A = this chain, B = another copy of it.
């Protein structure tokens, strides 16, 4: 646990360094929101984020939660997940283009890149070209049961 807290703080300060590098100020509010995001450790709704922030520091205003969320999203460090009933957001630690596998039971996500699978990436583009489109981008989200939840459920998953 203290191990986890240690890692969390490292993640938070690396995010903060990124902000500072681009001329954003390191403020108490941002620190608190980032800490809350990292400590949640899994995709969160805006409501969950608000609660987590309040737990860390009740003096941070609601508006700052949304402002920081928007800031991180605009920098590609937080992404919206699709197909969850309610919109959820997740921290992205990989810089490059990537996708998510979301566990339909515990809700945790895992990032993956397609570099090992160049076929897939080029197939998606090729598919668009086959329809006469000029490919620009795509969204691919995968849903399944993660290894941990499979174990919990027993062999008849």
| Selected interface stretch from A23-31, A88-96, A128-136 | A128-136
CB distance from A116 to the nearest CB of B (A): 8
B138 A124 Cβ-Cβ under 8 A: no
A134 B157 Cβ-Cβ under 8 A: yes
Q: Chain A interface (Cβ within 8 Å of chain B)?
A: 82-83, 101, 103-104, 110, 112, 117, 119-120, 123-124, 127-128, 131-147, 150, 157
B140 A144 Cβ-Cβ under 8 A: no
Chain B residue numbers with a CB within 8 Å of A103 are 133
Additional 14 contacts, C-beta under 8 A, given A82-B82, A133-B144, A133-B145: A112-B127, A117-B123, A117-B127, A127-B142, A128-B142, A128-B144, A132-B150, A133-B147, A134-B157, A136-B145, A138-B140, A139-B139, A139-B141, A140-B140
Given A131-B112, A142-B124, A144-B128, the answer on whether A136 and B82 have CB atoms closer than 8 Å is no
Chain B residue numbers with a CB within 8 Å of A143 are 135-139
Chain B residue numbers with a CB within 8 Å of A146 are 132-133
